Amino acid sequence: MHILVFSQYHTNPDCPATSRHYSLLAHIARYHRVTLITTRTWEQQRLTQEFPWLPEGVEMRAADIPYHNRMGPARRVLAFGQYVAYAYREGLKVDKPDVIWGISTPLTAAWVAARVARRRRVPWVFEVQDLWPSFPIAMGAVPAGWARQRLFALEKSLYQSAAHVLPLSPDMTRYVTDLGIPAAKVTTVLNGTDLDLAARATDAAVAALRQEYRLEGKQVVLYAGTFGRANDIPTLVAAAEELAAQNPDMCWLFMGLGYHEPLIREAAARCPAIRLVPPQPRHAVFTWFRLAAVSVVSFLEMPVLDANSPAKFYDSLAVGTPVIVTNQGWTKAFVEQHGAGWFVPAGQPDALATKLLELLAQPEKLQTAGQRGKQAARQLFDRQQIAHTVKQVLEKAATLR
């Protein structure tokens, strides 16, 4: 079977990114022919050269289209449009596929997958990584009312035209079915994590990292990910400074890049307990999570963000580090159900500092929660199992002609 994949951003484990689809494509390509239409955006951002850029068996067609998080809305829209034009042309040139897999975000990548599927008269599967256009609209990136209406109409039409829909969280699934899409046509496939890479976070690797970064005797709090507008970073910085004044053995690491990096850099300059760590390759990030006593997964208090499926949530639990979440959605329900973490409302630095102070004084409680999270991760977050589910959905969809 030939599977044609539309994904604007391809990464591998040498990149400072989740590399979800690297794992999924590697599994699926063992059974089927896979052609990926993407861009070279991340290829120049590799931090190491340990992994091949493409999984074995995957064919790639890639456009040189610049993109980065510092781009404004207009420049991002241009990049999305350039990918659509390239992907549409290439999608009509490749050997006819049996099924098409369209991966959003952005929504335009799913749209071009649907267009090519219609033109070539093959079924397509829609993977929903984030709720677009709800997220950019909530963040004020689409001010015109007519544009918002058009985008919502486009979104619903894509759900309707897809043979199957793959949301990355239970809350996303609920959102899709609430639009009238039959539940039988929707399968939740969690973002998940790479348990083989998590196994690299050994005691020796953690000890070496502690020594290299002079963290011996420190209780580490970790935020790893994008420093974006949606991530409530000012709250974390304020909580870190408050906590540092009360717990001299605490060190809060902020690992990543993004909009709020200057804010973190300024805080680190005035508070030695706050450190800014550069982005790490995918295969190394797990040791940083295991080094931490607790990690924080934060978002602004917006209903659309409650549905998120953040990689750092899965990665932390996979190595036995409990998580504090700040959104009200399924991650809150998950950590409470499994005893793998805690909830603190977004935008409340005092409450976050108080909870962390309480937890850091109870290392046994942190360890117990971490072990519960690790057990849940083994059962529910393995990307090899998720890849098998995606493969089955694609195989079934290919029969719906």
What's CA 232's distance to the chain center, in Å?
16
Q: How confident is the model at residue 136 (pLDDT cuts 50, 70, 90)?
A: confident
Residues with Cβ within 8 Å of residue 311, at least 6 apart in sequence: 18, 20, 191, 193, 225
Q: Whole domain around residue 122: which residue ranges?
A: 2-192+382-397
Task: Tell me how far apart the alpha carbons of residues 192 and 186 are, in angstroms, rounded to a whole number.
Answer: 18
In tens, the pLDDT along 103-129 reads 998 999 999 999 999 999 999 999 999
* Same structural domain, 14 and 129: yes
* Same structural domain, 162 and 28: yes
* Same structural domain, 229 and 368: yes
Task: Tell me how far apart the alpha carbons of residues 102 and 175 are, in angstroms, rounded to a whole number.
Answer: 19
- CATH number for the domain spanning 222: value is 3.40.50.2000
* Same structural domain, 147 and 230: no
Please give the tally of structural domains in the chain: 2
* Same structural domain, 201 and 346: yes
* Same structural domain, 258 and 285: yes
* Same structural domain, 128 and 201: no
Task: Tell me how far apart the alpha carbons of residues 300 and 309 are, in angstroms, rounded to a whole number.
Answer: 14
* Same structural domain, 50 and 149: yes
* Same structural domain, 361 and 307: yes
* Same structural domain, 44 and 181: yes
* Same structural domain, 234 and 217: yes
Give me the pLDDT at residue 140, please.
Answer: 82
Supply the pTM of this predicted model.
0.95
Say yes or no to pLDDT of 37 above 90: yes
Per-residue tokens: 303:
């209903």
Give me the pLDDT at residue 133, please.
Answer: 87
Task: Tell me how far apart the alpha carbons of residues 236 and 356 are, in angstroms, rounded to a whole number.
Answer: 11
In tens, the pLDDT along 321-355 reads 999 999 999 999 999 999 999 999 999 999 999 99
Q: Is the dihedral of CA 300, 173, 282, 74 positive or negative?
A: negative
Give me the pLDDT at residue 141, please.
Answer: 80
What's CA 15's distance to the chain center, in Å?
13
| Mean pLDDT score, 57-62 | 98
Residues with Cβ within 8 Å of residue 300, at least 6 apart in sequence: 229, 230, 231, 232, 346, 347
Percentages of the chain per state (helix, strand, coil), in multiples of 5: 50, 15, 35
Residue of 88, 95, 98, 167 lying closest to 134 (CA atoms) = 167
Across 66-75, 194-203, 388-397, least confident range: 66-75
Say yes or no to pLDDT of 387 above 80: yes
Q: How confident is the model at residue 357 (pLDDT cuts 50, 70, 90)?
A: very high
* Same structural domain, 14 and 131: yes
